[in-house]
Amino acid sequence: MYVKAIGFVLIASLCAAALIARSVRIETLVLILLLIWSSARAYYFCFYVIQQYIDPSFKYSGVGSMLRYLIRR
């Protein structure tokens, strides 16, 4: 599990570094930071909604798991 998390952080960091290297401007840095922050918040919100409103007793392993649960239901 930790290896997967480290892999995601590494991919995001390398992509952000490559984008900044291509366009060394403050606007690029701000847009990358906003993209990272908003993506993380959207992902957190998605799981909050799943846990609170769809079925609090069911343990989902991700969005795909939730979609399969809803389709089978």
Per-residue pLDDT tens for 26-64? 998 899 889 989 988 888 887 787 778 777 887 777 778
Q: Cα–Cα distance between 40 and 69 in angstroms, integer?
A: 23
DSSP string, 38-69: HHHHHHHHHHHHIIIII-TTS--SSHHHHHHH
Taking the whole predicted model, whether its pTM rises above 0.85 is answered as no
- Asked if 19 and 32 count as a contact pair (C-beta separation under 8 A), the reply is yes
